[in-house]
Amino acid sequence: MNPALAKAFKAYDIRGLAPGELDTAFARRLGETLVAEFKPTRVLVGRDMRTTSPELEAALVDGLTSQGVNVTRIGLCSTPMFNVSVGLGAGTYDLGVMVTASHNPGEYNGFKIVKGDLMPIGQGSGMEAIRDRFLSDATLRLRSGQAPGTVADDANALKNYLDKIFSLVDVSRIPPMKIAVDAGNGMNGLIMPELTKRLPQCTFFALYWDPDGAFPHHEANPLKSETLEDLRRLVGSTQSHVGAAFDGDGDRVGFTDELGEPIPGDLMTALLAESLLASAPGAKILYDLRSSWATKEAIESAGGVPVMSRVGHAFIKRRMREEGGLFAGELSMHYYFRDLWNVESGDLCLLLLLRLLAQTGKPLSRMWKPLKTYAKTEEINSDVADPAGGPSGAGKDAVLRRIDEKYRASASSVSDMDGLRMEFGHDWWFSVRASNTEPLLRLIVEAVDEKIMAAKRDELLKLIRGS
């Protein structure tokens, strides 16, 4: 195989241009590779709405069944619907494969792979072995004389998914509300029409609910403020109580309040944690190391035990199992639930938020803005080139060493679980992390006021960018 394809095997999934890099030959060989590596007998397969997804799914299934594996297809689905389908199988499936490139533009596609226990396969948990076996010039050890596996279709996956998430929230006490939802032409356009039927007391205003792999209106990425402009206008014109925007495969959700103001992911983690802790005091709540001090403080104030985690769904899901965490949230707007096998569901987040609004009777703006007690940057990306002839990542490593040397001695707290995170009393802190896939360093700074934050931000950026 072409060694250039190695770059498609990312930290958390397989992703690339389709069909330029990921074509039907790639998908079929991936199916064969998964059988050779993990020796599954039954695999669940789903796909998103991208134009190349049907052909990649068909080739993947062909590769799996050619080796005697029995495949269950659930067809078009969101990633949460896919994950819950694996979970509801209760040990039926050895692997699950979702054909999707999440929020990436329409010319991309990819594969998310999970084990039967819903632990994701990524960097350090099997992705390197898949890559190496896939790229090996040696012929895969295919099962000779093996009868082809079967293919079955599960037409009840969407109903079963909704049954599960609605079993976790009593929606009978949610009063009439107005909710604006931007599905971004992604897979939540499949979920929302059925979800709304179960909340007949609420009025939903639809924005881009038609699944379209070309993403004709905007990138389906709620982390980017510019993608929320249409939703913010819709919230205002309809006087909605809340706005929700989903990413392409539905595993992330961003919210706006009734004024159309976006709510940062770390502060939404705090809000949801407070709600969940009301019925589970003393539970552990995980948050990623980019999160505001306010997130930790809100968890403690609500009677929970805050646990900081490194960034990334594979790491957080593993840590949730280790800690027995009730809930976890990331700045990137991934939210994870113990009652859903530690996987994400933006749909469940929406139900919980509606329940919280009903319980408090307060406008959403009055619930989250009091949490905004610190001055904090967004995540700032800086290009860091490698020195000529040097190994990949050498440039980023050198900058991290310079930062470490400058600040470690004066820091009151240092963590190197994911790049560098240093705190300086209760005045300010920063996090600098290297991108897993690009020559970038990502910086966040938070402080007790804007003046300190701006000064420290500029100081660190000068050190990172060498100017």
For the chain, which residues make up each domain, given as ranges?
A: 3-159, 177-260, 264-359, 375-465
The topology (CATH level 3) of 375-465 is: TATA-Binding Protein (3.30.310)
Q: What is the pLDDT of residue 393?
A: 76
Q: Tell me which of 3.40.50.1370, 3.60.130.10, 3.40.605.10, 3.40.120.10 is the CATH number of domain 177-260.
A: 3.40.120.10
Q: Does domain 3-159 have CATH number 3.40.120.10?
A: yes
pLDDT tens digits for 373-401? 999 999 999 999 887 677 777 889 999 99
Q: What is the pLDDT of residue 140?
A: 64
CA distances from 48 to 74, 75, 109, 189 (A): 11, 8, 9, 11
Contact between 221 and 247 (Cβ < 8 Å): yes
Contact between 332 and 291 (Cβ < 8 Å): no
In whole angstroms, what is the distance from residue 387 CA to residue 320 CA?
A: 38
Q: What is the pLDDT of residue 139?
A: 60
In whole angstroms, what is the distance from residue 119 CA to residue 67 CA?
A: 23
Q: Which class would CATH give 264-359?
A: alpha beta
In whole angstroms, what is the distance from residue 69 CA to residue 149 CA?
A: 5
Q: Which residues are catalytic?
A: 102
In whole angstroms, what is the distance from residue 398 CA to residue 393 CA?
A: 9
Q: What is the pLDDT of residue 113?
A: 98
| Residue among 37, 60, 26, 32 nearest 142 (CA) | 32
Positive or negative, the CA dihedral 94, 97, 98, 101 is positive
Q: What is the pLDDT of residue 466?
A: 84
Tens place of pLDDT per residue across the chain (467 aa): 576 789 999 988 999 999 999 999 999 999 999 999 999 999 999 999 999 999 999 999 999 999 999 999 999 999 999 999 999 998 899 999 999 999 899 999 999 999 999 999 998 899 999 999 999 866 666 666 678 999 999 999 999 999 999 999 999 999 999 999 999 999 999 999 999 999 999 999 999 999 999 999 999 999 999 999 999 999 999 999 999 999 999 999 999 999 999 999 999 999 999 999 999 999 999 999 999 999 999 999 999 999 999 998 889 999 999 999 999 999 999 999 999 999 999 999 999 999 999 999 999 999 999 999 999 999 999 999 887 677 777 889 999 999 999 999 999 999 999 999 999 999 999 999 998 767 899 999 999 999 999 999 999 999 999 85
Q: What is the pLDDT of residue 325?
A: 98
Angle at 224 between CA 456 and CA 392, to 5 degrees: 65
84-98: b (≥16 Cβ within 10 Å) or e: bbbbbbeeebbbbbb
In whole angstroms, what is the distance from residue 345 CA to residue 314 CA?
A: 15
Q: 3-159 and 264-359: same fold?
A: yes
In whole angstroms, what is the distance from residue 467 CA to residue 457 CA?
A: 13
Q: What is the pLDDT of residue 90?
A: 87
The residue whose two tokens read 């000068």 is: 462
Reported as half-sphere exposure (CB side, CA atoms, 13 A), residue 429 has a value of 18
DSSP-H helix ranges across 143-226: 157-166, 188-197
